[in-house]
């Protein structure tokens, strides 16, 4: 295979490319990014990699979640805390259910760039470029704001840095202390059944901790804090290249190219062409990486993709994020599992029950039904079990805010209620209640 470098992707055909008019501005922004320090370290990246190895072998579960499109505006204390607390609560429930360690990866601190089905859209009779994410252009419906602005790439770095800084500071200051999970609050969770179930789980955890303290084994066992890793779609390759550094592995003498914009990057369903720029970039980085796969992926193509992205066949290096839709998963997942098993690759299998289940209401509002999301997850678990494989995790679009974007769940949100707090700038997310309820139901599948 041809030589790889952080810029070799520029020699390949690219999908979802951004055309900058201000070429000098782009050059200046990328030069600035190249000088800035890594956002994450090789030790953290390799810790995640070994955790994901465990997931691939069936010994741990991965919970990945966050906004579809993160905005610079979401970089504030309340929204970061709400999201982190929700992921912590969900992971506690999943640990209790699956009886396995849970690795938490947030779609945060960099999940800005969005692939779009059309490069332009018409708003109030005016055609303008589509919103591509806060790191590319502005959302406001104005053709000038919608022009790609290269200074946004630098802004993306600083918003990621500020988000990550607060995330790290909160965790090291006890936000995730298992001794006080009730302090994580249940904010908007008003459904009595969820509150009661969660309180029961918390009591069970508290009992276990009390016992550990009594017999003196709670020291240095990591009950005071938790790891939360960061992730985003590696869509803007100019940005990723600028933050990719040749660095030494923390414990071996080997050097590798690390994408230091986040711990975990994934390739979206629209940019995973075998001969394309994104696959070229991803095949050279040392991070654990994700690949979205859906109904349009042929089983033999999937295996070739794994051969390209992970030629050394590192266990758990690649996470296959499947997103078929509740009505299609049974047609496609078994074939994908069989092909991968026959190839000898051992990836993490993660189910994204969101992206294959998007639909529009009769009045044109994009939504997802809780029952479809749950059904795709349940089928994924059963199909993997039947094939002698493991469902290693789930990938969700969620928010700690009390939004009304997905239909269903115990609180009974209907299509008529979607208008109340529909605030996403891209795909519909589960709100806090729906996300926690989903965690309980998935935990229940493991306890069946």
The dihedral built from the CA positions of residue 17, 22, 27 and 30, taken in this order, carries a sign that is: negative
Please identify which residue in 233, 372, 405, 427 interacts with Mn ion, judged by CB under 5 A.
427
- For 4, the token pair is 């790889």
Please identify which residue in 355, 369, 384, 429 interacts with ligand PEP, judged by CB under 6 A.
355
Residue of minimal CB distance from ligand PEP?
A: 268
The dihedral built from the CA positions of residue 121, 125, 126 and 131, taken in this order, carries a sign that is: negative
345 is in an annotated binding site: no
Q: Name which of 29 and 163 has its Cβ closer to ligand PEP.
A: 163
Least spacing, CB of residue 96 vs Mn ion, in Å: 28
Least spacing, CB of residue 358 vs Mn ion, in Å: 8
- Helical spans, DSSP H, in 344-431: 370-386
String marking each residue 270-309 x if it binds ligand PEP according to CB under 6 A: x---------------------x-----------------
Strand extents, DSSP E, 356-435: 358-360, 366-368, 393-397
186-245 positions binding ligand PEP, by CB under 6 A: none
Q: Name which of 83 and 323 has its Cβ closer to ligand PEP.
A: 323
- Rg of the chain over Cα atoms, rounded to whole angstroms, equals 21
Planar angle of CA 271, 273, 278, nearest 5 degrees: 55
Least spacing, CB of residue 398 vs ligand PEP, in Å: 12
Number of residues that bind Mn ion (CB under 5 A): 2
String marking each residue 21-60 x if it binds Mn ion according to CB under 5 A: ----------------------------------------
- The partner in contact with residue 159, picked from Mn ion, ligand PEP, none with C-beta cut-offs of 5 to 8 angstroms by kind, is none
Least spacing, CB of residue 107 vs ligand PEP, in Å: 8
String marking each residue 322-351 x if it binds ligand PEP according to CB under 6 A: -x----------------------------
Q: Name which of 33 and 106 has its Cβ closer to ligand PEP.
A: 106
- The Cα-based distances of 426 to 38, 117, 283, 410 in angstroms read 28, 12, 28, 24
- The partner in contact with residue 238, picked from ligand PEP, Mn ion, none with C-beta cut-offs of 5 to 8 angstroms by kind, is none
Within 13 Å of residue 388, how many CA atoms lie on the same side as its CB? 5
Least spacing, CB of residue 271 vs ligand PEP, in Å: 8
The dihedral built from the CA positions of residue 36, 137, 110 and 320, taken in this order, carries a sign that is: negative
Give phi and psi for 443, each to the nearest 5: -60, -40
Using the CB atoms, write b or e for 252-289: b if 16+ within 10 Å: eeeebbbbbbbbbbbbbbbbbbeebbbbbbbbbbbbbb
Please identify which residue in 269, 372, 376, 401 interacts with ligand PEP, judged by CB under 6 A.
269
213 is in an annotated binding site: no
Number of residues that bind ligand PEP (CB under 6 A): 9
Are 129 and 147 spatial neighbours (Cβ–Cβ below 8 Å)? yes
- The partner in contact with residue 234, picked from Mn ion, ligand PEP, none with C-beta cut-offs of 5 to 8 angstroms by kind, is none
- Residue 406: burial class (beta carbons within 10 Å; 0-12, 13-18, 19+): buried
Does 71 contact Mn ion by CB under 5 A? no
Q: Name which of 68 and 92 has its Cβ closer to Mn ion.
A: 68
Q: Name which of 117 and 251 has its Cβ closer to ligand PEP.
A: 117
Within 13 Å of residue 5, how many CA atoms lie on the same side as its CB? 4
Does 67 contact Mn ion by CB under 5 A? no
End-to-end CA distance of the chain: 47
- Residue by residue, DSSP assigns 243-258 as TEEEEE-SSSS-EEEE
- Which positions lie near ligand PEP, rule CB under 6 A? 68, 115, 268-270, 292, 323, 355, 427
> Which residue ranges make up the annotated binding site for Mn(2+)?
68, 355, 397, 427
């Amino acid at each position: 295979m041809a030589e790889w470098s952080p810029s070799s992707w520029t020699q390949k055909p690219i999908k979802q490319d951004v055309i900058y008019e201000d070429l000098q501005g782009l050059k200046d922004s990328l030069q600035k990014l190249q000088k800035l320090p890594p956002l994450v370290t090789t030790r953290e990246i390799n810790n995640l990699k070994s955790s994901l190895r465990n997931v691939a072998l069936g010994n741990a579960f991965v919970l990945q979640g966050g906004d579809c499109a993160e905005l610079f505006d979401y970089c504030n204390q309340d929204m970061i805390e709400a999201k982190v607390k929700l992921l912590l609560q969900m992971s506690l429930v999943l640990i209790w259910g699956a009886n396995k360690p849970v690795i938490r990866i947030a779609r945060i601190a960099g999940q800005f760039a969005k692939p779009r089905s059309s490069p332009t859209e018409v708003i109030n009779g005016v055609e303008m470029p589509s919103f591509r994410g806060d790191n590319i252009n502005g959302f406001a419906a104005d053709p000038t704001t919608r022009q790609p602005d290269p200074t946004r790439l630098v802004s993306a770095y600083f918003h990621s840095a500020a988000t990550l800084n607060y995330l790290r500071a909160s965790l090291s200051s006890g936000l995730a202390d298992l001794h006080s999970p009730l302090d994580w609050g249940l904010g908007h969770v008003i459904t009595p059944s969820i509150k009661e179930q969660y309180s029961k789980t918390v009591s069970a955890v508290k009992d276990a901790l009390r016992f550990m303290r009594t017999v003196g084994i709670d020291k240095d066992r990591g009950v005071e804090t938790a790891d939360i890793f960061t992730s985003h779609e590696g869509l803007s390759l100019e940005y990723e290249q600028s933050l990719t550094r040749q660095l030494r592995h923390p414990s071996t003498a080997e050097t590798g190219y690390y994408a230091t914009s986040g711990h975990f990057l994934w390739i979206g369903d629209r940019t995973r062409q075998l001969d394309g720029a994104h696959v070229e970039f991803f095949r050279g980085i040392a991070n654990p990486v994700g690949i979205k796969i859906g109904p349009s992926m042929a089983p033999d193509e999937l295996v070739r993709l794994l051969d390209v992205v992970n030629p050394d066949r590192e266990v758990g290096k690649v996470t296959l994020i499947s997103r078929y839709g509740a009505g299609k998963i049974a047609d496609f997942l078994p074939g994908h599992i069989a092909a991968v098993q026959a190839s000898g690759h051992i990836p993490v299998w993660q189910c994204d029950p969101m992206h294959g289940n998007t639909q529009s209401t009769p009045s044109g509002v994009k939504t997802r039904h809780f029952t479809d999301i749950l059904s795709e997850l349940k089928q994924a678990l059963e199909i993997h079990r039947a094939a002698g494989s493991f469902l290693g995790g789930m990938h969700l679009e969620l928010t700690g805010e009390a939004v009304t974007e997905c239909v269903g769940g115990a609180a009974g949100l209907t299509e008529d209620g979607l208008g109340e707090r529909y605030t996403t700038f891209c795909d519909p997310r589960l709100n806090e209640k729906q996300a926690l309820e989903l965690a309980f139901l998935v935990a229940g599948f493991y306890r069946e």
